[in-house]
Chains A and B, each alone.
Chain A
Amino acid sequence: MDAQADLVDRARRGDRTAYDAVVSACWDDVFAFVAARSVALEEADELTQEAFVAAWFSLASYEERDAFGGWVKGIARNLLRRRRAARATTDLAAVADMIAERLDHDDGAGEDDRERLARLRGCFDRLPEHLRLLATKRFAEDLPLATLCQHLRRTRASIANALTRIRATLRECVERPGSSA
């Protein structure tokens, strides 16, 4: 029995500490899967958390022959679909749904999400400091564009250009052969 299987087995017998370790080990994998299929990061974070909670309450039904992370992803996928079905029918929601549906149906596209996530982190660390700070404020702290413009005393176009440059730099870095975390 490998280390993770042992932890899952202990979790099935009610060991919370073991389950904490399982969640820590699988979080990035499941989160990357959900994030790549979500239209809002808050949704990805919340749904990943919900999937792990639901998995705990359903541990009895987990089949050891399946990878635990894969099993939790299945739960997460169901949660995503339920969330989409419950979404209001506005124009904006329709756009979100079209994209979410496509993300969901891109079979196999998520297979390398975890690796891409790790590479992104490595590439992010190599950004110039001022771009790292801006990216952190926008993407990690989620400050709205308007707030950034106001506080940094820069125009919307200037901030948007900087964000586009950050995305392009990261994309190029991630896709460069040999780039690693």
Chain B
Amino acid sequence: MSERIDELTQAWLDGDLDAAEIAEIRVALADPQMLARVTAHVREHQLLRGALRSDPASAARRVAAVIAARERGRPGSSRMAVIRARIGAPSAWRWMAAAAVLAIAVGVAAWTLVPWAAPAQVVVAEATAGSSLVRDGSRIALVPGLALRPQDRLEIPAIPADGAVAVRYADGSHLTVHADAAVRLWDADGAKRVALERGEVRGDIAPQPAGKAMRLSAPQAEAEVVGTRFSLVAADGVTRLAVSEGTVSLRRVDGSVSLVHAGGSAEAGANATEPAPRALLDFDFEDGARPPEAVVGRVETGPARAGNRGCITGVLDGDSRFCRVMLDAGEGATLFVFEDGLELRFDYWIDGGAASLDAYVWDDTQQDSFGSRDRFAPVPAARTWASATMRLDEWRTPDGRRLRAGDRIRQLTIQPGSEGGVLHLDNLTLVRPPGP
């Protein structure tokens, strides 16, 4: 019985009960033990959802917006009434009781009397007739000027095929949601968030603040944007990203990552035509923050590149005379596990006359260093950005030993092949190319 009630509870939490099962769970709940069991599951479920969604800072902004809206909409408002009441209220306890009633009355009355004036962060700019949003279970027509709330779900009908809804953010960014799409937009502590259930969105996104990259999630992948033009399409089991300006990273549900530069595209999903390399490491430094693994190096703007905002710059470390970047998982931790076919890819900019780049790892399993020294193609040109790809299964120790599948790698270091100079790195990924 317990197993069955657990099954029914999970189905209920997933919104997946049919009428017979609803009746079944209702009967079962007459048993106090079963009720306690179900209640425990529900509490756990709610706390989990709460843990993932609670966002006090943006919640505070929502609360402030509602208060402002209600005060604007109610001249001589209930706020004023409360203040007057306080002036003439000698007995706190008496008012305590009255206040509970007043608080609810104010909330409910104001809600029905005052039209919603949202945080003004996302506003509908244009909308095709027939487009709507679902708010609190009700359907509302989308019209220009309507402010969106975090839980709103926008639905754009399939007909007309050229229908669309454009929304405008306070920072001037635009997002266009095309026909036959369902999408939700919200704010996570100042960072833009979009969940695309199906359809297509196109964005023209203003540069986003450091650490506040815009994230768009689709069924098979998540795109991270710091300021660019792009389109993201979710249809027929495939999520497709195309970038016309800047760089966007696409993280798939299976954990693999593609960095898509201007003019490029990437796909995710079982029907994707482009096989996805699996990324074990992925750093684009676009948010301006130094990843915790980057124990040596400084994240900064670096030499200019269109649409790019950050890179990591090598620094002199300790007694070293090499300007290096080092990733380190920390004592006893693993940066990645070696496997055959791994490729280290990165963009680099070097100055100071270095004729080559040197990269090496510390292997915790074999307790030795394996590197690319003297095996990497010469740097093609100083003071320009170039791309490098290195196969880790070609790396050796000085006595010729190679990395073995399953080796736990703790550190990765990249530095110029000779002393001095400046090294900038960007879009550093460690990928396993798709198999045949």
- Given A57-B103, A60-B85, A167-B49 contact (CB < 8 Å): no
Q: Which residue of A lies closest to B52 (CB)?
A: A140
**B44 proximal to A (CB < 8 A):** yes
* Pair B95/A60 contact, Cβ less than 8 Å: yes
Shortest distance between the CB of B364 and any CB in chain A (Å): 20
Q: What 0/1 readout, one digit per residue, does chain B (197-241) give for beta carbons within 8 Å of chain A?
A: 100000000000000000001011010000000000010010000
Q: Cβ of A117 and Cβ of B270 under 8 Å apart?
A: no
Evaluate contact between B59 and A48: CB separation under 8 angstroms: yes
Closest to B62 in A: A49
Give chain A's interface residue range (CB within 8 Å of chain B).
35 or more
Contact, CB under 8 Å: A24 / B151: no
A141 interfacial by beta-carbon distance below 8 Å: yes
Per-residue contact bits, chain B 57-99, to A (CB 8 Å; 1 contact, 0 not): 1011111101110100000001100110110010011011011
* B50 & A56 in contact (Cβ 8 Å cutoff): no
Contact with B along A46-81 (1 / 0, CB 8 A): 101110111111111111000000000011001100
A60 to B83, CA, bound (A): 6
How many residues on the B side are at the interface (Cβ–Cβ under 8 A)? 79
Q: Which residue of A lies closest to B29 (CB)?
A: A98
Once A57-B78, A143-B195 are accepted as A-B contacts, the answer to whether A153 and B237 lie under 8 Å apart by CB is: yes
Query: For residue B89, which residues in chain A have a CB less than 8 angstroms away from its CB?
Result: 60-61
B234–A151 touching, CB < 8 Å? yes
Which residues 155-182 of B sit at the A interface, judged by CB distance below 8 A?
none
Q: Determine if A121 and B51 form an interchain contact, defined as CB atoms under 8 angstroms apart.
A: yes
Residues of A close to B52: CB separation below 8 A: 121, 124, 135-136, 139-140
Q: Which residues of B contact A38 (CB under 8 A)?
A: 46
Q: Which of B54, B136, B197, B234 contacts A31 (CB 8 A)?
A: B54
> A8: CB under 8 A from chain B?
no
Residues of B within 8 A of A10 (CB): none
Closest to A119 in B: B51
Instruction: From known contacts A24-B57, A49-B59, A116-B47, infer whether A106 and B39 are also in contact, taking CB-CB under 8 Å.
Output: yes
Tell me the bound Cα distance from A55 to B254 in angstroms.
Answer: 44
Mark A residues whose CB is within 8 Å of B: 16, 19-21, 23-25, 27-28, 31-32, 35-36, 38-39, 41-42, 44-46, 48-50, 52-63, 74-75, 78-79, 82, 91-92, 94-95, 98-99, 102-103, 106, 109, 113, 116-117, 120-121, 124, 129-130, 133-137, 139-145, 147-148, 150-153, 160, 163-164, 167, 170-171
Chain B residues with CB under 8 Å of chain A are 10, 12, 14-17, 19, 22-23, 25-26, 29, 35-36, 38-39, 42-54, 56-57, 59-64, 66-68, 70, 78-79, 82-83, 85-86, 89, 92-93, 95-96, 98-100, 102-104, 106-107, 110-111, 136, 151, 184, 195, 197, 217, 219-220, 222, 234, 237, 253-255, 269-271
Q: Given A23-B60, A27-B54, A99-B35, output 14 extra A-B contacts at Cβ < 8 Å.
A: A19-B63, A35-B47, A39-B46, A41-B50, A46-B136, A53-B66, A57-B106, A61-B82, A61-B99, A63-B92, A92-B17, A102-B36, A116-B47, A137-B219
A selection of 14 A-B contacts at a CB cut-off of 8 Å is A28-B56, A32-B47, A52-B59, A53-B67, A57-B67, A58-B106, A60-B89, A63-B92, A75-B104, A92-B22, A113-B47, A117-B47, A124-B51, A137-B217
